[in-house]
A and B are shown apart, each in its own frame.
Chain A
């Protein structure tokens, strides 16, 4: 049996487990909270982390570009105030090396400070991580502290060697819990952070009153797998190729209604019948 997460299980990605032994799923970690509850967390995959990192990187480049423009524009606007000779000789003599030092410092602050500050103040998230629905947590499931964040992000310099993440990728690939060097040192995980879905009662349609005997009989004979199948088809039919969509609709109709379908019945009618079945099943079982 797979984890509850894989099956949809509880409505939240974080669910309490029993004490009975559960088959180990490499994508799920079970952390024990300080009050001895076991919390199931789904680990963020390497791909998700890569995409989140690239989004953050784009934001950082944007920040750096903005900063450079912020510094260059005044010089360009007021270049008449400075004689070219002064700029080239005296200023560069005075501030040349300092400028380089400050530039390196600013680069470091933006690349590392960005992650530290966001992770600390946003409970382990950065804009890229928020976009991908992931966040950093400690081993006990609690939000990262400033020390954890500093440790995992300072080591980012090692993971990020030459800005192409070679060590980070290899460490994440080798480690079964997708941790890079910084995570291993700081004792942190990057996990999915989905909000518990709130049931949408509007989607429970009132078809029961108008349901005819055939519909009632059909729904009574439906398994939950049948419902899932129909529901998934209805939610995804918009992006399907027409031929496949029609064929699938017909086959599902035959499966649900347990009788062959005449070839001249229009597909719109078949899909409407499937919609009614799904809606009535939802109402009967309170599934939304």
Chain B
């Protein structure tokens, strides 16, 4: 022990650098081994040489530091052990003890240095890295020290479980699953929308494209059989013969509405599946997303209808409540005194609606349907998180929805404006063309905003699960099956 301590007292100093290029090289080298020195600090310290790198290096580490820096143009000075008996007590830059751990992580109260690898170690590392023998380019990541674990750093780091090489879709696919702040959730949503814009857009646009594809030939057939009177002029022809197109048209419209609604549900489910796939580190596959939703379509549609019924009930509840309260108050005093309690009743739907909003994510991602999905959504959006405002999950979702409305208004405003401008040149008999153009542009705008809303809610859903259930930790630990 005493031997080790006496060895650990070499002082290594940079006394000079040969030229500007050398200064740059030395700074680069130091930036890779120094932990708590920013680039600016390193440059400043190189500008104000001499710089005592360490006062407690072992002979081996001191010589490795010198061997690393001298070829780069640094003029090094090493003071042997016990040259200054008290110097090792001074808090200054140090080389970490425990060489076997240094390549993994290091963090101390002063600058730490990873001992530069020996030629043999370097060659061995290269071989283990690349069996073909081709040395890969060294990025800062490979030499960077291990991260410091705290809440702030955790929130900005990609877990190992989602290294890019693991993603079947190739590099760049997938995001770190981790607890996010409100603004980070929005960032992540925009990032997902941007990265997979066309695929996600197409998923939501398919119902409209199908509708257009069906409507155009049907309208053509309609005109072919019954003439253009149905679309222009005084309207549908009167008389006994006019009943056929009316009935046929009504049936077609009914079928179209059902088809569109079904497609809308499927596309909503498909985009949830697609975004979840992205989150799980896979590529977006439109066909796979649609096929997945087809399998649980009945369950999904029925749960959606149940959600609508519950929402309708929540809206009606205050009205019945006010009438009931009015009646009760009328028994004792004026019924209008019950008005004091009315606002509380009308708050109820606003409180309950966000709590049920994650039901469709629950159906698609967790395969829980009907009341179970609503109950699960309610549970997910209840409670409080740690961290910055808003802490309540409900409040976080409400703020997110309001931010989304702000974004929605901006995007809709722009697309409607563009649509109006495009339809402006068309007048007279071509007015219908302008109207169609306006409608197309507006639909594109609303599709983009609904895409963003879907993505943002999936991001929120995973955030809640990460915080409340440690979903990301389970993924990291390999305890959780992927979607």
Contacts and interface: CB of A to CB of B under 8 A. Distances in A.
B409 interface: yes
B247 to A, nearest CB: 45
A18 B413 contact: no
Q: How large is the interface on B (under 10, 10 to 19, 20 to 34, 35 or more residues)?
A: 35 or more
B176 A15 contact: no
A287 interface: yes
A164 B184 contact: no
A4 to B, nearest CB: 4
B313 to A, nearest CB: 28
Contacts of B98: 284-286
B473 A286 contact: no
B111 to A, nearest CB: 10
Contact of A227 (B138, B149, B190, B414): B149
A44 B183 CA distance: 10
Contacts of B32: 18
Contacts of B141: 1-4, 7, 9
A238 interface: yes
B67 interface: no
B22 to A, nearest CB: 13
A167 B31 CA distance: 41
Interface string B345-356: 000000000000
B140 interface: yes
B477 interface: yes
Contact of B138 (A6, A20, A232, A288): A20
Interface in B166-183: 171, 176, 179, 182-183
A113 interface: no
A1 B105 contact: no
Contacts of B176: 6
A29 interface: no
Given A37-B24, A45-B183, A233 B108 contact: no
Contacts of A288: 107, 148-149
Contact of A47 (B163, B184, B469): B184
Nearest to A5: B156
A27 B153 CA distance: 17
A227 to B, nearest CB: 7
A240 interface: yes
Contacts of B43: 35, 37
Interface in A1-46: 1-12, 14-18, 20-23, 27, 35-37, 39, 44-46
Chain B contact residues: helix, strand, loop or mixed: helix
A239 interface: yes
Interface stretch (B33-41, B198-206, B237-245): B33-41
Contacts of B383: 241
Most central of B27, B35, B190, B384 by chain A CB within 10 Å: B190
B406 A164 contact: yes
A236 interface: yes
B474 interface: yes
Given A1-B139, A9-B141, A15-B140, A239 B105 contact: no
Nearest to A46: B190
A166 interface: yes
B148 A46 contact: no
B160 A11 contact: no
B189 A47 contact: yes
B29 to A, nearest CB: 9
Contact of B36 (A39, A47, A199): A199
Interface in B124-181: 137-142, 144-154, 156-160, 163-164, 171, 176, 179
B155 to A, nearest CB: 10
B409 A164 contact: yes
Given A1-B141, A47-B185, A197 B148 contact: yes
Contacts of A169: 407, 410-411, 414
Most central of A5, A48, A196, A286 by chain B CB within 10 Å: A286
A240 to B, nearest CB: 6
A251 B470 CA distance: 12
Contacts of B468: 239-241, 244
Contacts of B414: 166-167, 169-170
4 tightest Cβ-Cβ pairs between the two chains A and B: A47-B186, A8-B147, A45-B187, A166-B414
